[in-house]
Amino acid sequence: MSSILKTNAVTMQFGGVTAVNNLELEINEHEIVALIGPNGAGKTTAFNMITGVYTPTKGTVVYTDKNGKECDITGMKLSEIAKIGIARTFQNIRLFKDLTVYENVIIAKHLHIKSDFMSAALHLPWYNAEQSKAEIEVEALLRKVDLWDMREEKASSLPYGKQRRLEIVRALATEPRLLLLDEPAAGMNPKETEELTSFIKEIRDEYNLTIFMIEHHMGLVMEISDRIYVLDFGETIAKGIPSEIQNNQRVIEAYLGVDEDA
Amino acid sequence: MEFFQGLLNMSGASFAQHMVNGISLGSLYALIAIGYTMVYGILLMINFAHGDIVMMACYFAYFGITIFHVPWYFTFIGVIVATALLGAVIERMAYRPLRDAPKNSVLISAIGASFLLENLANYLFSGRPMSFPDIPLLSQNIAVGSIKIQAISLVIPVITVISLLVLLHIVNHTKTGMAMRAVSKDYEIARVMGINIDNIISMTFIIGSALAAIGAIMWGIRYPGITPYLGVMPGLKCFIAAVIGGIGNIKGAVLGGFILGLGEILIVAFFPELSGYRDAFAFIVLIIILFYRPTGILGERTTEKV
Amino acid sequence: MKKLMSVLLVSALAVGVLTGCGGTKKDAEKSDVIKIGVFLPLTGDNAAGGELELRGIKLANKLHPEVLGKKVELVIADNKSDKAEAASVAARLIERDKVKVILGSYGSSLSMAAGNIVKTSKVPAIGTSCTNPQVTANNDYYFRACFIDPFQGTVMANYAFKNGARKVAIIQEVSNDYAVGLAKFFKDAFIKLAGPDSVIEVANYQTGDKDFSAILTNIKAMNPDAIFAPGNFTESALLIKQARQLGITAPFLGGDTWETQEFISVGGADVEGVAFSTAFDREKATTAEAKKFLDEYVKEYKGEPSALSALAYDAYLIAIDGIKRANSTDSVKIRDAIATTKDMEGVTGKTTLDKNGDPIKGAVIKTVKDGKFKYIDFVDVK
Amino acid sequence: MKNKRDLILSAILLIVLFCVSWFVNGELDSYIRRIVNLCLIYAIIGLSMNVTNGFTGQFSLGQAGFMAIGAYTVGIFTVPVELRANVFYAVPMNPLIAGIQMPVWLALIVGGLLAALVAFLIGTPVLRLRGDYLAIATLGFSEIIRICITNASSFTNGALGIKDIPPLNDVRYIFVVTAITFAFIAALINSSYGRAFKAIREDEIAAEAMGINLYKHKCLAFMISAFFAGIGGGLYGALLGTVDPKNFLFTLTYNFLLIIVLGGMGSITGSMLGAVIVTAGLEYLRIFDEPLEIFGTMIPLFRPGLRMVMFSALLMACVLFWRHGIMGTREITWSKLIAFCKNPLGFFKRKGASQ
């Protein structure tokens, strides 16, 4: 299995505070990797460094594109990251609230539209071709994840679980190879979580994705992830397959410790 | 080189005079900018109407002294009170209903308020300029060697510093001030903590407008022509001053005011050819500052949470 | 619900426009009245001038209410000191109110905005105090009652030279067409008199500026014999005030806009002794019409009439005179009659229009003394 | 299928409207013509402003400046060469441009392009700003543009302004330009780029995560907006027949702000409605400026100035009580119209419910 994403000793400091210290990740193609840890461990910061929201204070992020070429994407713009095939969702859902489900998803196809705004505005043939292609794909996608019936609904009017799902679908629509999910199960009831679990597996195989996710819901994590990284106070305190993590002393301490405080 | 003629043949005397002019103008800008920055600091919105509140205050003073013959010191107190009330009313009418509305709506409402005040003044007092009552004590001239200065120009910086200190005291050492700072940080939390947001914000507007009134009086004595559009340019420039210094930061407003005032004077002093472009100067500085330090000279940088 | 409201609002307004705003005056074609349109800035920057002129026109209408046995009805419209407005208002006066002649406006640019409209719809217009030569230039339908800037500029240049000024500075309100035009003509004329480098500085300020200390300090260092500062009376008054504060003693010269009470009330003691050219003064009130005007004006409005009122009064007289001689209510005929106006006795002397439609008349030079405008001199056209 | 129907209907409407404009041009008096022309021109500028403020959610107040650029381009290049000496009597026209004369349509396009170019240059520093900072900065730029025009006498004739612009008040001409603008912007908004703009309005970070390059798209929207503002300004100048810097004070922008707020930020058809209501409305309100007599007694309230008070009060009321304007972000579509015709009351009930 060949690696798709590598981080070499990336560190993020805000003023004096070190949010993430010497993080060494390696994610291989077609894996589902989870990043866990107590609150404030720096998980989301790690995500933000990978997706170019923050530029790491030091260290590099290396991505292997579909032609197997390694490229340094440290501090690359978020939009560029999306273009090379890394999509992400957000901890606090960031949908285009006032737009319809359909619009939300088809917007994601914009980065595959090659024609310039003039030909788009004048609806010239080559643009129309691209456009209808996009429409077909979106329809297929929405039918697949059974959101098609509510395509005309405003995103904000969807039930919570569906909103989470829509955000993932929107990310999928950018046709990524690596998908980063930031707490996809947050705030879901057991049933929704069930669905989510299978949904993630499903899309991984369907679209042949690599998935890297932050998640608190241990049930979910243990069930689907191939490997797990554990962060605490910005340090990587453990990594390995679920069974190893489950009975890793430091991890337990980290969590129990937090539990006591809480 | 002809262009630098201004630089070359400037005598010490005129340079000193220019500096004096600059400082007196700067302190005037600073005085009005404080009001701006304070409202922004709490509400995080531009009170576009601030300049027009200044204008209204000038009219109040005019009616007090010229029409009703109230002695000026009483009038000024009255003006400050009246203007403070006006500010509160504007807040109540134009801003409170939009407390939870998107920022742009508030901005539009602010523009609307300023536009309304101007047209109202135009309608009520007609476009004909009125002369701000002359107060000999303050408008007399004082000569220091070859340097001429108006008494008021000496008073203004003092007033500015006083208001600065008073304001700093209010904000940092009083209960209201603490509440204000709480509100400016996050008013949901403040609300939860049992602070009455509406009162605090009204308070902010009252203080801000009172400052505007003081500024207006100083402005009127220095430049005694009152028209409905009097407030527009000072309004814009003082806002710019506030932004330059770091909006929301009271000391910054003063700093910005002086930078702007001195800058405007000196640009004309050194490059007389550019006198026609003088008003553009403020905006150019604004844009440069926003480009290199979006939060102004003394404003602290902020990063967005994702 | 809102949508319903909106639809209602839309239709209401639309209907309003087609009926209300247009048809407010149904009696557009009553045969026993002749309508004269008046478009003046009654709000905005130029409101002061506009009001003074309106007084003159109303007075004239009071004293000369009839022509050809018909009643003269004034249709007064405000152009907000704004060009787009001026154009709409002019069109409205012509099309809606069917006026035969238009009087106005104070401010050359406002008049110019209406220029095309009066030209194309063939209704003569008589400018009251728009002194810019461009107003009547290649427009057969625009005339005026006031002298023009080239003449005014020359007059002031001569005056300055006569009083011993050899190097002058010019401070112009660079965003004001009137000021820029006048400054140019003054400069040309003065250079002709006193040599190429007699104008030592041309400084600029924008309309609405309040602080002039910087340019004034520069000029003080050059210490000119006189300062020519054409511009709005408010700005000019503040300018002079600050000049005196900075200890500039050189006399200030200006143009006809200064002759408003506001100029004195804002400028106070500091504007004493300035000199400016204008069209009219009691001292030169030679004609019988002028006497009548003065008495009536004082009765009606208390206080001294300004040249603006006098010019507006004359504009009305020119119109009436034209209609009388045309002996018709046909705008084109009236226009032809006005074009041949000769020795029309008005308040500001006898008016004769040249081929451009500009009057050939002299200028009065006034100063401010003890808070009043005071006659100094009269300069006739040579 | 549905699409085809809409196209045909739109085509028909267009033809009908064109005939109307033909009628207005031929039959109605020049006052009505002027109002109609102003409506059309304001519609163009309202639309242009809606592209940035309404669809991309970037609150810009620079419209007056871009209009000025367009208006001056038309002014400078369409004045007949032989008249120029007479127009530029204070400072002779700069030899670089003294000889160049263009037909109006060309001047309009050049003006639009110039405005777009300026927008591009301004965009670099300004578009990084958000909310009120952006507003004040763009406002600043429009003032800077005006001040430069005032001072660059040899090109713009400074404060004296440009006179003798061949007047353009043919309603058909202006209607066609408006129609093109409307069609172009409508098509753009309904294209992938339009959706990208909306995405930026809704959530910049999410939009970026969707691979949308913020700066590129904001700048694009800003330039398109400027381009049409330039065109609109050009027509405005040609309609007046004379331009000077005072025409383009930043307060001019407020008119268009009212138009888009009233019509609905982010609604094309809304802008059209807004333009008509505001322009026609302003004319209508004129009766408030005229003295009013009821039973022979003067109502002192009615005197010059009241109209503008009403105007600004309207803007306020609109923001306070009617934040989404007439259309909000919705559009009048053929299907809605048809639904409406089928069952007017039910239509509004449904709408009422959905709000």
Cα of first residue to Cα of last residue in chain B, in angstroms, is 54
Q: Could you tell me if residue B207 is inside a domain?
A: yes
Query: Are C141 and C161 in a shared domain?
Result: no
Residues 213-252 of chain D with CB under 8 A from chain B are 251
* Interface contact flag, D320 B45, Cβ < 8 Å: no
Instruction: Name every chain C residue with its beta carbon within 8 A of the beta carbon of D276.
Output: 10, 14
The whole-angstrom separation of Cα A132 and Cα A114 is 13
The tokens for D267 are 């609604």
Residue D352 has pLDDT above 50, yes or no: no
Residue-range definition of the domain harbouring residue D39: 31-354
pLDDT at C314 over 80: yes
Residue of B nearest to D257 (CA): B108
Q: Which chain A residues are within 8 Å of B306, Cβ to Cβ?
A: 44, 48, 53, 90
Query: Cα(D226)–Cα(D119) distance, rounded to whole angstroms?
Result: 6
* B276 vs C47, C204, C238: nearest CB: C204
Of B6, B127, B265, the CB nearest to C47: B127
Tell me if chain B has a CB within 8 Å of the CB of D305.
yes
* Alpha-carbon distance B122 to nearest alpha carbon in chain C (angstroms): 7
D313 touches chain B (CB under 8 A): yes
Helix, strand, coil percentages for chain D (3-state, nearest 5): 75, 0, 25
Say if C47 falls within a structural domain: yes
Subunits with 3+ C-beta pairs closer than 8 A to D: A, B, C
What residue numbers bound the domain in which C82 lies? 29-147+286-351
Question: What's the domain range around B211?
Answer: 32-292
Residue C317 and residue C254 share a domain: no
Pick from A256, A257, A231, A261: nearest CA to A42: A231
pLDDT, mean over chain D: 87
Residue C46 contacts B where some CB pair is shorter than 8 Å = yes
Task: Mark whether C160 and C272 lie in a shared domain.
Answer: yes
For residue C197, being part of any structural domain is answered with yes
- Cα–Cα distance for residue pair C371/C264, rounded to 1 Å: 6
D-chain CB neighbours of C19 within 8 Å are: none
- Count of domains for chain B: 1
Residues C157 and C223 in one domain: yes
The answer to whether residue C203 is domain-embedded is: yes
For chain B, the helix, strand and coil percentages under 3-state DSSP, each to the nearest 5 = 75, 5, 20
pLDDT digits (tens, 9 = 90+) for A160-199: 888 999 999 999 999 999 999 999 988 888 888 888 899 9
Beta carbons of C75 and C39 less than 8 angstroms apart: no
Which of D187, D203, D211 is closest, CB to CB, to A96?
A: D203
Nearest in space to D216 (alpha carbons), one of A174, A77, A72: A77
Is the CB of C74 inside 8 Å of chain B's CB atoms? no
Pairing between β-strand B147-150 and β-strand C226-228 as defined by DSSP bridges? unpaired
According to the 3-state scheme, what is the secondary structure of chain C?
CHHHHHHHHHHHHHHHHHHHHHHCCCCCCCCCEEEEEEEECCCCCCHHHHHHHHHHHHHHHHHCCEECCEEEEEEEEECCCCHHHHHHHHHHHHHCCCCCEEECCCCHHHHHHHHHHHHHCCCCEEECCCCCHHHCCCCCCEEECCCCHHHHHHHHHHHHHHCCCCCEEEEEECCCHHHHHHHHHHHHHHHHHHCHHHEEEEEEECCCCCCCHHHHHHHHHHCCCEEECCCCHHHHHHHHHHHHHCCCCCCEEECHHHCCHHHHHHHHHHHCCCEEEECCCHHHCCCHHHHHHHHHHHHHHCCCCCHHHHHHHHHHHHHHHHHHHHCCCCHHHHHHHHHCCCCEEECCEEECECCCCCECCCEEEEEEECCEEEEEEEECCC
Q: Do D305 and C43 touch (CB under 8 A)?
A: yes
pLDDT tens for D266-305 read: 899 999 999 998 888 888 877 777 766 666 666 667 777 8
Is the four-CA dihedral B293, B296, B298, B300 of positive or negative sign? Answer: negative
In-domain check, residue D303: yes
> Is the CB of C1 less than 8 angstroms away from the CB of D348?
yes
pLDDT mean over C333-358: 90
Q: What total of structural domains would you count in chain C? A: 2
Residues on chain B touching C234 (C-beta within 8 angstroms): 129, 225, 227
- Cα–Cα distance list, B263 to A17, A31, A71, B21 (Å): 40, 62, 49, 11
A178-182 and A86-88 strand pairing: parallel
CB atoms within 10 A of CB B177: 18
Q: How many CB pairs below 8 Å do chains B and C form together?
A: 115
Which is it for the CA torsion C117, C119, C122, C128, positive or negative? positive
Partner residue facing B275 (CB), from C208, C215, C265: C215
Measured distance CA(A33)–CA(A11) in Å, rounded: 20
Q: Do C181 and C85 share a structural domain?
A: no
Within a domain: residue D92?
Answer: yes
- Sort strands B225-226 and B130-131 into parallel, antiparallel or unpaired: antiparallel
Optimal mutation site among B5, B62, B222, B275, interface C, most CBs of chain C within 10 A: B275
Q: How far is CA D232 from the centre of its chain?
A: 6
Please give the ipTM for the structure prediction: 0.87
Is residue C107 assigned to a domain? yes
Angle at B7 between CA B4 and CA B9, to 5 degrees: 105
The CA distance from D127 to the nearest CA of chain C, in Å, is 29
Using one digit for the tens of pLDDT, what is the confidence trace for A87-127? 999 988 899 998 999 999 999 999 998 888 889 988 899 99
- Number of domains comprising chain D: 1
pLDDT of residue B147: 84
Give partners of A (≥3 CB pairs < 8 A): B, D
- Does residue B225 surpass a pLDDT of 90? no
Q: Which of C279-283, C336-340, D329-333 has the highest mean pLDDT?
A: C336-340
Distances (CA, A) of C193 to C157, C275, D302: 8, 19, 53
Q: Which pair of structure tokens corresponds to residue B52?
A: 């027009």
For C116, the closest chain D residue by CA position comes to: D241
More confident residue, D52 or B15: D52
B287 → closest Cβ in D57, D135, D140: D140
Tokens of B66: 């010229």
- By mean pLDDT, which of B34-38, B52-56, D67-71, D343-347 is the weakest? D343-347
Considering only A173-177, C93-97, D53-57, D335-339, which range has the smallest mean pLDDT?
A: D335-339
Neighbours of C117 (CB within 10 A): 29
Q: What is the mean pLDDT of residues C189-216?
A: 91
Cα–Cα dist B26/B206, whole Å = 24
CB hemisphere CA count around B10 (13 angstroms): 22
**Is residue D1 included in any domain, yes or no?**
no
Q: How many CB pairs under 8 A join A and B?
A: 5
Q: Which residues of D touch B113 (CB under 8 A)?
A: 316
pLDDT digits 0-9 by tens, B110-156: 889 998 999 999 888 877 788 888 888 888 888 887 888 888 888 99
Nearest one of C137, C173, C146 to C311, comparing CA atoms: C146
Do C222 and C322 sit in the same domain of this protein? no
Place of tokens 């209204």: B56
Q: Do residues C67 and C91 both lie within one domain?
A: yes
**Which one is predicted more confidently, A193 or B13?**
A193
If one counts every other C-beta atom within 10 angstroms of the C-beta of residue A247, the result is 8
Q: How far apart are CA C230 and CA C171, in angstroms?
A: 7
Using the beta-carbon criterion (under 8 Å), do D242 and C9 form an inter-chain contact? no
Does the residue D340 lie in any domain?
Answer: yes
Question: What pLDDT is attached to residue A89?
Answer: 93
Predicted local distance difference test score (pLDDT) of residue B210: 93
- Note whether residue C335 is domain-resident: yes
Whether residue C180 lies within 8 A of chain B, CB to CB, comes out as no
- For D131-151, write each residue's pLDDT tens digit: 778 888 899 899 999 999 999
A85 close to A177: Cβ distance less than 8 angstroms: yes
CATH number at residue B120: 1.10.3470
In three-state secondary structure terms, D316 is helix
- pLDDT mean over A57-74: 88
> Which positions in chain B touch D144 (Cβ < 8 Å)?
280, 283-284
* Option in C45, C210, C268 nearest B223 (CB): C210
Q: Do B286 and D147 touch (CB under 8 A)?
A: no
| D5 in a structural domain | no
Quickly state the pLDDT bin for B9 (edges 50, 70, 90): low
* Span C58-113, pLDDT tens digits: 999 999 998 998 999 999 888 888 888 888 889 989 988 899 999 988 888 889 88
- pLDDT, greater one: C15 or A172: A172
pLDDT at C7 over 70: no
Domains in chain A, CATH or no CATH each: 1-85+176-262 (3.40.50.300), 95-173 (no CATH)
A198: exposed, middle or buried (Cβ count in 10 Å: 0-12, 13-18, 19+): exposed
Residue D311 domain-assigned (yes or no) = yes
What's the average model confidence in pLDDT over A222-234?
Answer: 90
The sign of the dihedral angle between the CA atoms of C178, C184, C187, C193 is negative
| CATH number of the CATH domain containing D228 | 1.10.3470
Does pLDDT of A261 surpass 60?
Answer: no
| Smallest Cα distance from A94 to chain B, Å | 9
Whether C303 shows a pLDDT value over 90: the answer reads: no
Residues in B lying within 8 Å of C, measured between beta carbons: 6, 9-11, 13-14, 17-18, 21, 24-25, 122-123, 126-131, 134, 141, 143, 148, 150, 219, 222-225, 227, 229, 232-234, 264-266, 268-269, 272, 275-276, 278-279
Residue B265 lies in a domain: yes
Q: Chains A vs D: touching, with 3+ CB pairs under 8 Å?
A: yes
The domain spanning residue C320 has which CATH number? 3.40.50.2300
Nearest to B30 by CA among B198, B271, B218, B295: B218
Establish if C332 belongs to a structural domain. Answer: yes
Give the pLDDT score at D197.
96
Chain C with chain D: Cβ pairs closer than 8 A: 146
Task: Say if residue C141 is in the same domain as residue C158.
Answer: no
Examine the pLDDT at C20 and tell me if it is beyond 50.
no
Residue D191 has pLDDT above 80, yes or no: yes
